[in-house]
Homo-oligomer: A and B are copies of this chain.
Amino acid sequence: MTKRPRRRSKNVVTMAEVANLAGVSTMTVSNVLNNKPSVLPERRRAVLEAMDKLNYRPNVAARALASAGSIRIGLLYRDVENALLGAMLVGALKASARFGFQLIIRSYDETKPLDDVAAFAVSEIDGLLLPPPLCELVSFSGISAKLSIPMIGLAPGTNLSDIPAVRIDDEVAAYEVTHLLLEKGHRRIGFVKLPGAMVGQTRLAGVQRALAEHGEVLEERFIWEARPIYEAGLALADMVCKMEERPTAILAGSDDIAAAFVNVMHRCGLHVPEDISIVGFDDTPIAVKIWPALTTVRQPLARIAEQATERLIQMIRNPEQYTNDVIYIPHEIIQRASVSERPLQD
């Protein structure tokens, strides 16, 4: 009669139940969960199995309360409209839920990104996820050393000197796509660099490597620059449309730029891909909402974010063994209708 029933909302699986099933103490479960190296491999396996079987999810509130800290991962985003934000959040959320961390998000002001990063870093969080182009901005500004929390870059266009990152290999992606174009017979290729972002340089190197293998070069006059937004693409495409001699294929820096090219080329009286082939980058939704649909490079952003979050959690837990490495995630070349089988004969 001394027991007091307590409302228990649900069949929530607790650490005790996992411990029970695995035949260990809750301490050991906790150690496994926190990746403490001291646990014997066989026990660890048993615990992980039990967690899996029971579909165990750590209770963030309890963890936060008990550990008095280190449970918050921050993610800064610029804009809710961003087509890639959903995928990044999904990945980050999965990894943080798995480890019982809480994901805290905040938008930043494009006119003072670094200030916002600094303010966010000092006040409320234990680790920071940096999407592009923030990761590059932070890295180039050199403020990362002053920010005293671990951070990691998501899909930067190049390796960062002072911040670890998870990314696709842009150089290889550009190389492969260029190779595809060469195989289809294209020789005169146009390339759109992205300003500021290092991706421009990295991809450019890949394009040049592929061309060099075929004894070709990328002509200076076919290297342009545009911000990766539709409007900038429109302006550039307009200019290209008026050129006397054009490339037979164009590697746009983003799907938005590519979509703008497709649009302008039509208005210009050119057929895509018969007269000119267009390649995008990112495989965002617009890639299949225009005609012809874009051949493009897909970055698996959800996976990138998930891996980056896992890595960040490791860094938060073991600050000493924090190395500045890069994790590569495989990209995918998506072939659709915007690249012709053969180039225009000139």
Contacts and interface: CB of A to CB of B under 8 A. Distances in A.
Contact of A59 (B57, B69, B83): B69
Contact of A97 (B69, B81, B104, B230): B104
Contacts of A290: 263
A296 to B, nearest CB: 13
A90 B80 contact: yes
A65 to B, nearest CB: 4
Most buried by B among A6, A81, A97, A105: A81
Contacts of A105: 90, 93-94, 97
Nearest to A316: B9
A90 B102 contact: no
**What range describes how many residues of A lie at the interface?**
35 or more
B62 A8 contact: no
A68 B104 contact: no
A112 interface: no
A285 interface: yes
Contact of A55 (B57, B61, B124, B230): B124
Nearest to A77: B90
A280 B62 CA distance: 47
A136 interface: no
Contacts of A323: none
Nearest to A61: B64
Interface string A1-42: 000001111111000000000000000000000000000000
Interface in A211-245: 230
Contact of A285 (B12, B83, B260, B301): B83
Contacts of A90: 77, 80, 85, 89, 105
A268 to B, nearest CB: 13
A11 B256 CA distance: 42
Given A60-B61, A230-B288, 4 more contacts: A57-B72, A81-B285, A85-B89, A86-B86
15 contacts: A8-B69, A55-B123, A61-B71, A80-B301, A80-B302, A83-B86, A85-B87, A85-B89, A86-B89, A93-B93, A93-B104, A93-B105, A97-B104, A259-B289, A260-B289
